Amino acid sequence: MSKSNRVLPGFRITMAFTLLYLGLIVIVPLTTLPVESITMGWTAFHRTLTDPRVVASYKLSLGASFVAAIVNGVFGVLVAWVLVRYPFPGRRVIDALIDLPFALPTAVAGITLTTLYAPNGWLGAPLARHGLKVSFTPLGVTVALIFIGLPFVVRTLQPVIEELDLQVEEAATSLGANRWHITTRIILPYLYPAWITGFALSFARAVGEYGSVVFISGNMPMRTEIAPLLIITKLLQYDYAGATTIAFGLLVISFVLLLAINGLQHWTGRRLAH
């Protein structure tokens, strides 16, 4: 096969357009973060990143996002499995509701969740009677992030579950494997790469979430203030260098975590292949 036949026609043009598009939409905007941050000097840069209020917002944003991604990872598998494998009345309605966080404005989701989980809300009142407060606490932040992140896991796993041949499970059963062995040695390894992808997407979405969290969190500094809200606060104070510094720190931390997740996915995929 000649070299000219190894690539699709128009490869150079499409690659050039792809690089230009990514450069204008992704790379250039992200480059402004370190450039703007450098203008404030190293001392001010370090002082901004190590400010206790900023550190507390990082811990809440990343911690709540990670917990929400774990919860979505566990229950997202169950939801996707039920929607694919079990026909039942109302399945299409439930399947459509999975996409509700995509279509619903995040501010509307935040107001709705705050109303439901407030101490006098439909769900908050019975929880409050048992000493569990959700709204205006870190738990409320986590609940909001679970809400907006679930579709990423479910929609990533559904097509993979649909491709899983039932005959493989039947063959394993005929060879004497019980349900536990089939689940842990056949189903879960097959779903693992897609699960990691859904987990990473859910985590990344949660880290940058603002609208659905700003209401239910209560925005109390050092307690329920998320990093995106602190960035907005800096912008409203015309502290553009401080806002970009906080955003740059959040970008670096998120990038390192996502890189580690992708590295784990690649390493595990190679182990499963062998």
Give the residue among 72, 197, 80 at the shortest CA–CA distance from 145: 72
The pLDDT score that the predictor gives to residue 9 is 60
Cβ atoms of 150 and 98 within 8 Å: the answer is yes
Write down the CATH superfamily of domain 50-273.
MetI-like (1.10.3720.10)
The pLDDT score that the predictor gives to residue 126 is 92
| Domain extent listing, the chain | 50-273
Q: Inform me whether the pLDDT recorded for 187 exceeds 90.
A: no
Q: Which of 39-53, 57-71, 164-178 has the lowest mean pLDDT?
A: 164-178
Res. 3 pLDDT band, cuts 50 70 90: low
What mean pLDDT do residues 260-272 have? 72
The pLDDT score that the predictor gives to residue 271 is 67
Distances (CA, A) of 262 to 81, 148, 197, 258: 24, 22, 8, 6
What mean pLDDT do residues 215-234 have? 89
Q: Inform me whether the pLDDT recorded for 270 exceeds 80.
A: no
What mean pLDDT do residues 149-169 have? 89
The pLDDT score that the predictor gives to residue 1 is 46
Q: Which contacts (CB < 8 Å, 24+ apart) does range 250-254 have?
A: 250/58, 250/61, 250/207, 250/208, 251/30, 251/33, 253/58, 253/62, 254/62, 254/204, 254/207, 254/208
Q: What pTM, to 2 d.p., does this model score? A: 0.84
The pLDDT score that the predictor gives to residue 238 is 87
What mean pLDDT do residues 187-212 have? 88
Residue 140, φ and ψ in degrees, nearest 5: -65, -40
CA distance 141 to 227: 12
The pLDDT score that the predictor gives to residue 82 is 94
CA distance 47 to 51: 6
